[in-house]
């Protein structure tokens, strides 16, 4: 695999522009009635109008057979090895809410939960309390000082919050306290390496104090912690690719992921049209645009085949606003598959199309899994897509003499 250092050496600053549209969970499975996937059923005349100047393929975010979370799925799209740069859940949630993590901070994802009088978990999500309630509870447990460590708590959404441990000598190698089942007590905190002894004891004290503070609350009278992690040390896209990247995404987690790799993140609306309008407004100021569309994944996870088809068609309908900007490279793909038939993220390789003035053509007439199977991109690790986009934007020098 190419190293990021090598790409740094050969990447070029140019005025050409790259637009990457990520339909979250785009890949699908055939519906037994029609034998066609969501993308195959969707009417996509605008996407298809690009195919005479496009190449297609199927891409594996992590490796064949591996179902990726959103973190690995996106890091691979941004050109990073998703196994080497594995982002913990704590960090992912923290960056998603714009929490300003400092070097040395350890972040954990928290759940407010319900326990009975014996301390056994009755609801891991405390009846999915409202975000407003969550914010109130966070205030109650925010700002503790334990030894030299400050514990900062901030609400994310519903029952989910972030706990950030700020102090010296903290290492994230401790277990989750969330047993992921009900009827048992939260798991005790244990260091998984000698270096993490302090982290384990501080976190245990935090949980114990939080339990006392929340004791009289209903239904959220306890907390669960998981995914203790530190931000991975990674070079930014700016450093590697000499691009000026911007992220247009409405969901916090994807904004957080973009920030981790050094993208500018701007405010945008919830609809595809609003996101595309944000692209247009910022088109002069950047040269790499990451647009994230959430709907396709949500409908896939809900098992709603028809809604996922509509989500894809919405993107297609709005697409002329992007096409008329005439980006040098326009890529449409997903971060992973979320087949409505499976109601979950899946391992299936993801359809991708790359359109540019400098690619060959696959002579396909429809963007679909079936047509992507025999396209020039072939079946490729998602991680390689960034290099292919850079090349098609003439942003890469020759390698070797």
Q: Which residues bind its own copies (CB under 8 A)?
A: 1-3, 6, 10, 29-30, 35, 37, 58, 62-73, 82-83, 86-89, 92, 227, 341-342, 345-349, 358-363, 369-370, 373-380, 384, 387-392, 396-401
Whether the Cβ atoms of residue 273 and residue 281 lie closer than 8 Å to each other: no
Q: How far is the CB of 274 from its own copies (least distance, A)?
A: 27
Q: CA 21, CA 9: separation in Å to the nearest integer?
A: 27
Whether the Cβ atoms of residue 287 and residue 246 lie closer than 8 Å to each other: no
Q: Which is nearer to its own copies, 133 or 336 (CB)?
A: 336
Q: CA 22, CA 331: separation in Å to the nearest integer?
A: 8
Q: How far is the CB of 117 from its own copies (least distance, A)?
A: 33
Q: Which is nearer to its own copies, 87 or 199 (CB)?
A: 87
Helices 70-77/252-260 angle, 10° precision: 50
Q: Indicate the SS3 state at residue 147.
A: coil
Q: How far is the CB of 184 from its own copies (least distance, A)?
A: 19
Q: Indicate the SS3 state at residue 355.
A: strand
Q: CA 85, CA 108: separation in Å to the nearest integer?
A: 17
Give the closest residue to 82 by CA, choosing from 318, 382, 306, 388.
382
Q: Which is nearer to its own copies, 110 or 375 (CB)?
A: 375
Give the closest residue to 31 by CA, choosing from 335, 369, 351.
369
Q: Which is nearer to its own copies, 195 or 358 (CB)?
A: 358
Q: Which is nearer to its own copies, 48 or 335 (CB)?
A: 335
Helices 272-281/305-318 angle, 10° precision: 30
Count of beta carbons in the 10 Å neighbourhood of residue 116: 14
Q: Indicate the SS3 state at residue 273.
A: helix
How is 335-400 classified by DSSP, letter by letter? SSB--TTTTS-B-SPEEEEEEETTS-----SS--HHHHTTSTTEEEEGGGHHHHHHHHTT-BPPP-
Q: Which is nearer to its own copies, 107 or 291 (CB)?
A: 107
Q: CA 134, CA 118: separation in Å to the nearest integer?
A: 24
Q: Which residue has the tokens 């809604």?
A: 307
Q: How far is the CB of 345 from its own copies (least distance, A)?
A: 6
Two structure tokens written together for 153: 């708590």
Residues present in the chain in total: 401
Q: How far is the CB of 370 from its own copies (least distance, A)?
A: 7
Q: How far is the CB of 343 from its own copies (least distance, A)?
A: 12
Nearest 5°: phi and psi at 207?
-60, -45
Q: Which is nearer to its own copies, 114 or 346 (CB)?
A: 346
- Cα Dmax for the chain: 72
Q: How far is the CB of 54 from its own copies (least distance, A)?
A: 12
Q: Which is nearer to its own copies, 253 or 265 (CB)?
A: 253
Q: Which is nearer to its own copies, 137 or 393 (CB)?
A: 393
Nearest 5°: phi and psi at 205?
-65, -40
**Dihedral (C-alpha) 24, 316, 250, 381: value to the nearest 10 degrees?**
30
Q: Which is nearer to its own copies, 211 or 259 (CB)?
A: 259
Whether the Cβ atoms of residue 226 and residue 178 lie closer than 8 Å to each other: yes
Q: How far is the CB of 50 from its own copies (least distance, A)?
A: 15
Q: How far is the CB of 84 from its own copies (least distance, A)?
A: 11
Q: How far is the CB of 39 from its own copies (least distance, A)?
A: 11
Q: Which is nearer to its own copies, 39 or 279 (CB)?
A: 39
Q: How far is the CB of 252 from its own copies (least distance, A)?
A: 13
């Amino acid at each position: 695999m190419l190293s990021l250092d090598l790409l740094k050496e050969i990447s070029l600053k140019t005025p050409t522009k790259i637009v990457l549209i990520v339909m979250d969970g785009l890949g699908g499975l055939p519906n037994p009635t029609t034998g066609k996937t969501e993308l195959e059923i969707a009417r996509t005349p605008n996407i298809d109008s690009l195919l005479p100047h496009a190449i297609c393929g199927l891409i594996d975010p992590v490796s064949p057979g591996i179902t990726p979370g959103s973190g690995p799925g996106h890091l691979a799209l941004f050109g990073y090895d998703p196994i080497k740069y594995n982002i913990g859940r704590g960090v992912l949630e923290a960056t998603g809410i714009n929490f300003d993590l400092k070097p040395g901070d350890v972040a954990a994802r928290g759940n407010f939960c319900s326990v009975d009088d014996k301390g056994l978990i009755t609801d891991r999500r405390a009846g999915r309390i409202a975000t407003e309630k969550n914010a109130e509870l966070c205030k109650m447990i925010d700002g503790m000082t334990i030894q030299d460590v400050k514990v900062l708590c901030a609400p994310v959404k519903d029952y989910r919050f972030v706990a950030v441990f700020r102090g010296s000598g903290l290492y994230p190698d401790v277990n989750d306290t969330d047993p992921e089942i009900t009827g048992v007590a939260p798991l005790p905190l244990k260091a998984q390496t000698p270096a993490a002894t302090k982290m384990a004891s501080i976190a245990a004290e935090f949980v114990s104090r939080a339990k006392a503070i929340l004791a009289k609350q209903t239904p959220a009278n306890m907390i669960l912690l998981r995914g203790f992690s530190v931000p991975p040390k990674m070079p930014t896209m700016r450093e590697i690719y000499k691009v000026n990247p911007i992220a247009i995404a409405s969901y916090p987690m994807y904004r957080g992921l973009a920030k981790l790799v050094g993208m500018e993140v701007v405010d945008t609306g919830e609809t595809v049209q609003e996101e595309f309008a944000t692209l247009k407004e910022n088109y002069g100021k950047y040269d790499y645009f990451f647009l994230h569309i959430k709907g396709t994944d949500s409908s896939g996870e809900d098992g709603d085949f028809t809604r996922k088809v509509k989500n894809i068609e919405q993107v297609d309908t709005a697409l002329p606003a992007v096409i008329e900007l005439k980006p040098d490279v326009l890529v449409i793909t997903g971060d992973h598959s979320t087949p409505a038939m499976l109601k979950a993220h899946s391992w299936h390789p993801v359809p991708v199309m790359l359109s540019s003035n400098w690619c060959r053509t696959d002579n396909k007439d429809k963007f679909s899994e079936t047509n992507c199977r025999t396209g020039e991109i072939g079946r490729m690790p998602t991680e390689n897509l960034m290099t292919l986009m850079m090349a098609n934007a003439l942003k890469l020098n020759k390698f070797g003499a």
